[in-house]
Every structure is written in C-alpha cells, then in structure tokens.
Structure 1
Amino acid sequence: MKLRKLSLLSTLFLAAIIVLTACGNHQPTAKERMEDYVHAWQKQNFSKMYSLLSKSAQKNVSKADFIARYQRIYEGIEAKRITASLSDGKKNSGTVHMKAELATVAGPVKFSQNITLKKEKRKDKENWYVNWKPNLILPGMTTTSKIRVDTLPSTRGEIVDRNNKPLAINGTAARIDLIPGKMGTDNEKAKTIDKLTHLLGTSKEQIDTALAASWVKVDSLVPITTIDATKTAMIKKVTQLPGVVKTDVNSRVYPDKNASAHLIGYVGKMTAELLKKHPNDGYNANSVIGKTGLELLFEKQLRQQDGASIVLLDSTGAEVGTIAKKQPINGQTIQLTIDRNVQDALYRQLKKDAGTGVAIDPRNGDILGLVSAPSFNPNDFVLGMSSSAYQKLSDNPKQPLMNRFTAATAPGSTFKALTAAIALTHKSINPNQTVAINGTKWQANKSWGNYSVTRLNHDPKVNLETALFKSDNIYFAQAALKIGGATFASDAKKFGFGESLPIQYPMHKSTISNDGQLNTQTLLANSGYGQGQVTVNPLHLSLIYSAFVNDGSMIKPRLIKTNDPPTFWKKNVMSKATAQLINKDLIQVINNPAGTAHDAKIAGLTLAGKTGTPEFKEKQGKSGRENGWFVAYNTNDPKLMVTMVVENTQKHGGSHYVTPKVKKVFEDVLKP
C-alpha cells in the first residue's frame, strides 16, 4: 500500500513538472505577437514596433527612417487613438486578420487587412515577427508614397440684428506689411519706421524684430500689424511710405463698433489655458474662440469646425486617392431681437457719459437695445491691441471695459411705481385721498433721531397722482410703512427680486435689501422711494414697467428673434385696474407742466414714465454722488420702452440730465 501511494505521488509530481516546464517554454502565437505590435502602435512607440519587424522588413527600411516616417506622417495627420481587433488566419499559417481604426484630423482611418508574421530565431529564441509593409502606416501607402493634409476651411457663425443688419461678421482687415528691398536707404528706412510707430502705435523694437527674422529677404512681405479696414485715412498715409503695403486678410469684424461692444463681445486666439478647458472639443492652437459677450455665451452655436482631408500622393506628388476626409462645419448664424437703429440711438446719447441704456418692446419682451458706456472698439481686440492701448482703457476712471447693463444699482424714484402697485394691491393707500404733509422733512417718530425723509416739493396735500408726477419721497415712505416690511419684502419677490432674469445674458439679481428683509422703519421708509438697500437691474426695471402696458403681467424678455407668441415672466403681479391707474398717472410725469419729466414731452407722441435720482451719500445732509434714471414708454400702441441710467449727474441736474437723452431716442426711433 505504501509503495502504491508513493507511486501515485511520484506520478502526480512528474506530471506537475511537465506542465510547469511546458508553461515555461510557451511560445507566443502569431496573434499574440501581433497584439504586442498593436500595443506599441497604440502608444506610438515606434522603436518598439521596429523591434517586432521581420529581418526582411528591416532590410527594406532602417530604424531611423521607420521612426522618422511614422512620426512625420502621424504628426501631420494628428493621429490619436487607435483601436484594433485581431483574429487568427489559417492554423499555423502566421497570418492574422486585423481590423483597426486610427483617429485623425480628417476623421477615422480604417484598416482591414491580413498581416503575415514570420517565425525567426533571435538570441536562441524563436518567435513571430511582422512582415511589415508601408500600408501599415496608412492604407494604400507604398514605399514611395507621400501624404498631404488639406484643411477644408469653415466659417464662424455671424450675429445679426432683427433686420439682418450685421453685428459680428466674417470680413477682412488690413495687414500692414513691409518690403525691405523697397524701403530705400538706411536713412529712409529709419524715417519710415519712425513714422509707422507714430501712425500705428507699433513699437520700433517690434518692427526691427520683424525685419530681422531669419526668413526675411529683400522681396519678402514682412507683416507688422493688422488694423481695422475702415481706417482708410490711416491706411492711405502709411501705404504712401516707401516699402509699405497693405494686404487684405480674413478677420472677425464688428460693424457697430463701440455701440454694441459689451453686448456682442469679441473673439480671440486660442490660448494654452483655454485648450486645457476644452480638451475634447475639437479646438487647436490656431482656433478662434469667443472671449466676451454673446461671442462667448453662444460659442457652441457660433463656432466653426474646419474639415480636413488626407490625400495619398505618388512619388511625383500626383494625387492617387483620399485616405480620409472630414467635411467642414460652419457655425450657425444668430439673429437677435436687437434693433441696430435703437442700439445706435441709445449709444449716441450715452457715449460721452458713464451709464447704460436698455430698450425693449413691452408688448412681446423683445430686447431692442443693450448699451453700456463708455465703450471700446471690439475690432481692436480682435486685431491685436498693444499693451499701452489696453492699459489706457484699464486706467480710464470711467471704466470703459465695465459692462453696466448687467449691474443692479439703486433705482431712486423710478421704484415708486412699484411701491404704488404694492400699496394699491393691499389697499394700504387710497389713490384719490389726499395726504397732509407739512414741509420738506418728515420722520415717523422721535426714535429716528437725526434721520428724516426729505422731499423737493412743498405741497401740503398730496394724492397718488401728484406724488408720482412730482416724485414725493415722503408720500412713498409713508406708503411703505403702511404696507409693512414683511408684506413689502414678500411682494417684491413676486416681481422677481432675488431671482435671476429669464434671459441668456447673465444679469445681476435685483435686491430689496441685503438680506431680503425690511426689518427696520428707516430701511422700509427709504425703500419706498428706491433708496435704502434697494438695487435694480435696468432690464428688470423695464420688465416691471411692462406690467403697466400688459394689464398687470410682466413680459418675459427675449434676445433671440422668434416667431413664437410672447409669454409672461410674472403673471398678474397687480390687477388690471391698478396697472391702468398707475399708467395714467405716469403719463402726467411727462404731460403735466409740474411733472419731473415734462422736458421729455414730444408733440404727437404720448409718453408715460418716471424719473429717479438716487443719492449715494455717507451722511444725510451732505453732498454726494448722484445717478440720473429715466424710464419711459409710448402709450398708444406701445412698441418702445427705454430705461436709461447716467452716473455722476449731481452737477448736471440729476435725472433732468437724462430726460432729454431718452426723448431724443424716441424721436430718432419712432420719428413722430
């Protein structure tokens, strides 16, 4: 029995040794060796790939040429991910069938071919090696084949106004070039460079560096700078200098220039930082991308995607065929609700000031104009702005780079119409009842200390209509106290306070107070006439006033032109009767000789509106900064509502500085 057990154990042990020995001597199959080749190929480890070639294949191509050719071609076609599947051919034939796909700039390149491997003995070990041919670089290639990659250009989508007037288009710019051989003597050359630095704002060092480049010859066109093609007077001056010529080049162009700069924005060249943010979006170092404004916000719709083709050439350079081709994709054209005539009319009135103008059609919510001033020329950013020019913009105390129509600031007395609506809704006031007010200062009780509400008019008795057209602060401070802080704050939310505006362009939220509550008497009283901590975005104010046109509902704004019927953002924020009553009173702000906006009256065109002059003072009774506000709309077939804000009007009459500007916009646009 012991002998039998020993015999059985010996047999098992010997079997295990045989198995282990067999495993240790395992020879890879042709398919497994081809898998090694594919793994190296996927990593673009061309040195490893070469080591897996058969001796006959290595005879036909040196290692250096093999690596260099792969690198040159794969870099040119922007080869990326490779996927492959392998299957055995006939048993022991050394043939492996491969299906592979290589991602390139021109789309996928597909391989489907039989690969022959050969058994060879190297360093006393036998293994399979690939009988490589050039068609393993790209299908169809031979030893003498060449590759050409063609870019199939695309165009960026354009931005147009409601009437198809251009706001951002693909046009041309003027590149200023120098031809060294035509610049004359050294003295003449120096004079030309000196004049160019003054005319173009380009530094002498920049011009000298460009002319000193290694590739420059006497007849070369040496680019110096690119400028706006509409600067014809400057172009004429510089091209009269010896050796200076103009070359038309493709460029993004903004025909409305400063008037629409903050709204439309501008594009710029792709940066390394932006490439990291868009790793798989098809951008490259030469791409253009939206940097600000609608160019940035609508980048996905506007962006272009160039196509490409990989063309197979014979040894003479003649085309043999196309290996892969990706069609270009043009960007979408975006049509805005903006009316360029309205945009320009707003800008003409604001361009010398710091402020903003918003225009809408209150019936359907179409935004007709969004202007921020002072402004800048977006074409300068596209063409390349010098550091000194950018520094000048940055250091300007009026801050031309700031977008003011997105901001929310104190609305002053323009807010009184909202206070009136809330007070009427809760029956906190009787519009026909006169309220006795003595003097120009008032406080609810002695707990207010030295603080009081002041007004400009001296009327001893005031009703809602008079309080609106004379802009009586005390009347509305008292109305706010009658409403109550909790109710006032709650109703403000119904008008969209603390909420983002329903529009693609990001705007700052309007606030009723810093914490959304009105817990003190003085804060509540001040809020009643648009001071305290109230901030309102000018577009939001326009939407609130649209309720006086739309029987108590606030229109939903829209920036993209559509044939869809208009919709409301906030329905029934007040009753139809309340809306009509306030609308009637707002007409008196302009029509009544004592109205604060009587200077905006236009013969043949009835306007309704409200002025506002919020004050920014460190202490009551002290002088300080003021802004002028005016919101107005035409009442018969209302099609235009304008809200304008001008900063620092304390020495110009407050809102009285703004009313004639808004009047001129109505005259320019509606031409009564």
Structure 2
Amino acid sequence: MKYRHNRKRRMIRVGFLVLSIIFIAGVVLFTIKGITKKEVVKSPEQVLKSYMNCICQKNYSEMYEMITNESKETIEKEDFVKRNSAIYEGIEAKNINIKIIDYEEESLTVKYNTAFDTVAGKVDFKNEVAFLEQDDQYKMVWSNSVIYPGLTEDDKVRVSVIQAQRGQILDRNGRMLAGKGVASSVGIIPGKLENRKKSIVRIAKLLGIKPEDIEKELTAKWVKEDSFVPIKKIAKVKELDLLALDPDETIVEEQKRQEKLLKISGVMISDVEVREYPLKDEAAHLVGYVQNVTAEDLEKHAGEGYTNASVIGKTGLEGVYEKELKGENGCKIYIADSEGKEKEQLAYKIVKDGKDIKLTIDADLQAQLYKNFKSDKSCSIAMNPFTGEVLAMVSTPSYDTNAFIMGMSKKQWDRLNKDKKQPLYNRFRQVWCPGSTFKPVIAAIGLQSEAFTGTDNFGNEGHSWQKDKTWGTYHVTTLHTYSPVILKNALIYSDNIYFAKAALKIGTEEMERSLSMLGFHSSIPFEIMMAESKFSNNKHIQSEVGLADTGYGQGQVLVNPLHLACIYTSFCNDGNVLKPYLLYKENAKAEQWISEAFSKSVSQEVLEGIKSVVNDSHGTGYAIHRKDMWSYVKI
C-alpha cells in the first residue's frame, strides 16, 4: 500500500511539472510572438520613408498598397498610379529626401520635411500625414495633399518651359552667319477647307509634298475645326525684294506660288521665327545647320535641358558650339486649379539665352572664294599668316542650309545625295594631294637639314629624268627648262625634277622625321576636327621612287589644306608654325603650334622664292600678280 501511495504522489508531481513546463512554454512563445510582431510591423515613420523611396523607383503600385482601405475607396489603383506618375515624372523629381520632424504617437501623425530636385530646381516643403493600424500594419491616410500641401483632386501640377533664344554665329565684323530669321508658315484651318480632298491635292502639289502628309497633320488628336494646322515652312517674300528694279526671278516665282496657295479656302500664311543662314551655299559646310531634336537626341542628351520643342546643331559650327549656342531653357512648376488658373508656384528656373559666337571669318572673303570656285569640286582656306586667324573656309559645290530649316522633302534630299559632285561632302576637312604647293615645304626641309643650299646647281635635265635604270620606265617630268637650276628658279618654274632630286638628297629618314615634326600623322589643334595629313599610307616611305614623288607633292602624300596653310605661316614668322583659330579675339595675337620648325634664315629664303612665283614674270603664279597690292602687303 505504501508503494502505491508513493507512486501516486510521484505521478502528481510529474503532472504538475509537465503543466508548469507547458505554461512556461506558452508564456515564452507568447512573448516571442509579441516581440516578433513588434519587430516586423513597420512604424508610421518607416512606412512613410518606404512610400517615398517607391517614388524614386517609380513603383507606384507598391505605394498604393501602403494606403488605408478608406483611402482606396476614394481613388482606384489605376488612377492613383496615373496621377502620381504624371506629377513626379512630369516635373522630373529625383534625389527625394525625407526628414522626420515630429511624430504624435496618440494620433499616429507624422510631421516631416520633403526636398527633391526637379526640372525647375529644388522643391522643399513641410507636410504631415496620419496613419491607421489595419491588418496588423500601419497604413497611410492618403489624399492629394500628400503629394503637396493643399493640392486637391481637381488641381493639376503644370510644367511651363520658357525656350532659350539660340545664340548667333557672327563673322569678324558682326555680320550674321546664323541667327534669328523669319519664314512663312503655310497652314490650314480644317473647318474652312472646301472640297477637302481636291484642295489637299492642290496644296500638296504647290508645296511639293504628299497629300497623305497633309492628311496626317489634319487628323492629329489636338486638331479642332478652328485650329491653325501648320503644314510647311517656306521662304518669306519681302516687299523690298519685289520692289527692286531687277527682282530675283526665284523671288517672283515664290510670290506667285504663295498667291495661288492663298486662293484656296482654308489656307493661311503667317510669319514664323526660324534659324536663318544668310550666306546660304557660301558657308554651308562651315556654319552647318540645326534640326528639331529626335527621340534619339533626347535619349543621348538626357538631362541636358532638351525638350521636344528644341533644336540641336547637326553639322558645322552649329554642332561644334552647340553647348554655348543653345542656352538653358527657363522652367516653372506650378499648381493650377480646375479652371487652369495658377494657384501656387512650386519652383522657377530663370531662362539663360545662348551665347553669340564671333568668328575670325570674313563673310565677304568667304563669299568671294565661293563665287570663284562654286562650279568646281574644291576647297579653299584663307588664313592670316601673322596671327593664325582663319578668314575663310569654303567647300564647293555646296547647298543651301536654309532648306533643312524649311523642311526638306525626300525628293530634295535624294537629289542632294545622288548628285555626283557630292555637294554635302565637306572637302576642307579632308586630305588631298598637295602637288606643287608642297615644294616650298621640301625646300625648307632641305635647307634646314643642310641636304643642299639655295645656290647648289642641280643641273639641267630637260623635261624628263630618272635617277638610274633601276627605276625602269618611270621618269619624273617637268614643263620648263631654265638656268641655273637653283632653288629660287626651281620655285619660280615649279620644277618637278629639281624637287624630286631635293627629296633624294634629304633622304627617307630625315624626310620622315621632318614631316612628323611638322604635324604629319597627327591631329591639328583646331576647333573643327580635320583629317590628319600623312606622307605615306603606313607612316613610312616605301621606296626611292616614292621618296622622289614626295618631293613635288605626289606619291602617297596627302595634306589637309588648313595644315598646309599653317606650315606656310612659318615663312612669315621666323620659322615658327602658328596655331590656327576660329574664335575672334579683340587683340589678335599669334600662338605658336610648332616652335622653330625652321631657322629664321631658312624661312626668309623660302619666302623670297614664294614671292618670286607671283612677282617674277616667269613665275607660274604671275597671272595673279597685282602691282597695287604689293606696295602695302606686310610680307
């Protein structure tokens, strides 16, 4: 009996122990659960920060899940996403920073400061938002005022862009090469268009475009019956041009075309501001042109202030100085009420117009060079040999840059591209066979290296010569014979044989070294990127015949015309090659590109020979000799 009694007591004790363990475990589990829940549930401040972080990530759907059920009853998810994305992305909000100012635990209200960057500058404001505990989480009591204090569902956040005026491109005398001009905009008021199909066909024919292009413009979403729908820009006919004693035939024809357009009901012609290029063909390759930005441009230049209404420099100096010319658009972000009236300004950025670019170019000289060579496939460079100022850069044949501004038709574009003379090709940026213009350079290299002197007589070889029989059937030929065969006379008569011999005397190694020192196979320090001059295809002269040909500017020698002009400046500046430049300086001062390329005595001796080419009656350049010029030209 005693054994059973003890056994019973032990069982009671074990049972009590088990119950105690279960109780303690329950308490522990309850506590752990409470702690876990407390740690998992985000505080209102944390929810607010998560909400704002979603704006940066454009995760508007996740933001919607953070608002209360009651808030969701006031706005559908689709509308919530659309509203928030339109506002934040429309003003280009980024770098959003939230600073908690205060938290009222009793009312679950968070007071905070919001700051972020926008397209119009920084926006900074104080705000507050309440939270409710729903589904074991804190949810935001959302309204439009979370976006900005006082914003209602009927309000709109607007962005107004003030377009910067593009800077002008001017010549050295202030003459406009590119700037503000006026064109005529041909447009249609749909509601006034009679016999629509027939009228559109007629308008298209007069404007040189397709009828379907006009239909596309007229059926755009924004178009109403009384809208003025721009169709094409055309040249403005000025009354003064028509009143001239002998008006230009093209101006008269343009006036007739515009009169025919205005006779069609619904057609209107109004003035519109455009980029204008007064020199047209004469400076097309130099000045270049602008065009409306494309989607590709906007992507490539994201964050640089371009909009769908912007233009961008595509070629020439319009492209080179794009950053300086374009300026910075002004911008205003504001809240507008249901009637479109401004309620409050949120941010404002002042417009900065583009800078004017003044060049060393002389417009009159540019035009004159173009007129002299416009029918040829050629390029011309004019440079002040004492300052390095580039006075003219011409490529012919050319094209009218204004055609790109007016809106070039496919037919016009195809005609330009298929033209065998390649008017779009910029020749002054390329390299060409220099021919006889290279002889003074060889003369200077020979004298400087002491390969020969100016009085060395190379001997009269007649009109044809070869070094020896190893040249096979190859001979160097020349047009004139003279005596004595010395450097000055060789320059006057442009003697190929003399300079072929001169190159052989200089030798391959010295020729390559000297030409490399003069900038061959190297970039030219200039605002416009030019092709590199080269004395051979692989930086080495391959043969004796090739070396001889180099002496008179043939063989594999290819020179950029600006580079050659720069080398010539050494003959006027004691042997120093000047650096070329295009930006005008009030007090022009020479800057050396290659110092002491030749000695003073060598440069003076070569210069005298060059002058004789024009001044001597036997000189190959005597046809351009002018007695009235040499009395005051500083040489």
* CA pair 197-489 structure 1, distance change in 2 beyond 3 A: same
Indicate conservation of the 8 Å contact 2:305/2:329, yes or no: no
Query: Helix, strand or coil for the counterpart of 2:67?
Result: coil
Counterpart for residue 602 of structure 1: 626
Find the counterpart in structure 1 of residue 295 from structure 2. 272
| 8 A Cα contact 1:171 1:253, kept in partner | yes
Cα contact 1:31–1:88 (8 A) shared by 2: no
Q: Does 1:573 align with 2:592?
A: no
Q: State the Cα distance separating 1:461 from its structure 2 match.
A: 3.8
Report matched runs for 1:605-620 at 5 Å: 605-606=629-630
Aligned counterpart for 1:550 among listed residues 558, 569, 573: 573
Shift of 1:217: 6.0
Matched, 1:167 2:167: no
- Looking at structure 1, the residues matched to 118 and 401 of structure 2 have their Cα atoms a distance apart, in angstroms, of 35
Work out the CA distance in 2 between the residues paired with 1:569 and 1:421: 17
Write the mapping of 1:321-336 to structure 2, written as runs, cut at 5 A. Answer: 321-336=344-359
Give me the whole-angstrom Cα distance separating, in 2, the residues matched to 1:458 and 1:195. 69
Counterpart in 1 of 2:334?
A: 311
Residue 636 in structure 1 maps to residue 627 in structure 2: no
Q: Which residue of the other structure, out of 17, 22, 27, is the alignment partner of 2:34?
A: 22
Whether the 8 Å contact between 1:453 and 1:477 is mirrored in structure 2 is yes
Q: Write the deviation string for residues 350-376 of structure 1: whole angstroms up to 9, x where unpaired.
A: 211110110011110000101111111
Deviation at 1:412, TM superposition (A): 0.5
Deviation, structure 1 residue 78: 4.3
Aligned to 2:7: none
CA offsets per residue over residues 459-514 of structure 1, 9 Å max, x none? Answer: 36411111101011111111111111101111112221122111110011111112
Q: Which runs of 5+ in 2 are unaligned?
A: 1-13, 238-249
Distance in 1 (CA, whole Å) between partners of 2:256 and 2:226 is 22
Give the CA deviation at 1:567.
1.1
**For 1:496, which of 519, 528, 534 is the aligned residue?**
519
Indicate conservation of the 8 Å contact 1:239/1:245, yes or no.
no
C-alpha distance in structure 1 between counterparts of 2:195 and 2:68, whole Å = 64
Shift of the 355–56 alpha-carbon distance from structure 1 to 2, 3 Å rule, reads same
Corresponding position of 2:270:
247
Q: Deviations over 1:413-456 (max 9, x none)?
A: 11110111111112222212333223211111111111111111
CA shift digits 1:608-651 (9 cap, x unpaired): xxxxxxxxxxxxxxxxxxxxxxxxxx98325xxxxxxxxxxxxx
- The structure-2 alpha-carbon separation of the partners of 1:89 and 1:180, relative to structure 1 and needing over 3 Å to count, comes to closer
Q: Deviations over 1:342-399 (max 9, x none)?
A: 1111111121111011001111000010111111111111222111111111111111
Measured in 1, the distance between the counterparts of 2:59 and 2:458 equals 89
1:387 maps to which of 376, 388, 410: 410
TM-score (norm 2): 0.87
TM-score where L is the length of structure 1: 0.82
Residue 599 of structure 2 corresponds to residue 587 of structure 1? no
Distance 1:487 1:15 in 2: 98
Selected match of 1:437 from 451, 460, 467 = 460
**Corresponding residue of 1:200:** 207
The change in CA–CA distance for 1:428 and 1:67 in structure 2 (over 3 A counts) is closer
1:4-23 aligned at under 5 Å gives the runs: 17=29, 20-23=32-35
Residue correspondences, number? 600
Say which SS state the counterpart of residue 559 (structure 2) adopts: coil
Mapping for residues 113-192 of structure 1, pairs under 5 Å:
113-119=127-133, 121=134, 125-179=135-189, 190=198
- Secondary structure of residue in 1 paired with 2:526: coil
Cα distance in 2, alignment partners of residues 602 and 538 from structure 1: 24
1:36 maps to 2:55: no
1: CA distance, partners of 2:192 / 2:408: 28
Task: Classify the secondary structure of the residue corresponding to 2:627.
Answer: coil
1:642: which partner in 2? Answer: none
Superposition map of 1:53-68 within 5 A: 53-58=67-72, 60-61=74-75, 63=77, 65-68=79-82
Match of 1:343 in 2: 366
> 1:266–1:378: 8 Å Cα contact kept in structure 2?
yes
Percent identity between matched residues is 37
Alpha-carbon distance in structure 2 between the residues aligned to 1:266 and 1:315: 42
> CA 1:141 to 1:421, structure 2 compared with 1: closer, same or farther past 3 Å?
same
2:395 is equivalent to residue 372 of structure 1:
yes
Match for 2:526: what amino acid? Answer: I
Distance 2:365 2:146 in 1: 62
Tell whether the 8 Å contact from 2:183 to 2:233 is kept in structure 1 after alignment. Answer: yes
- Between the aligned partners of 1:178 and 1:144, the Cα distance in structure 2 is 35
The letter of the residue matching 2:419 is: N
Partner Cα separation in structure 1 for residue 28 and residue 365 of structure 2: 92
* Contact 1:40/1:48 (8 A) holds in 2: yes
CA separation in 1, counterparts of 2:567 and 2:201? 57
Matched-pair contact (CA < 8 Å) for 2:109–2:128: yes
The residue type equivalent to 2:162 in the other structure is L
Q: 1:421 corresponds to which letter in structure 2? A: A
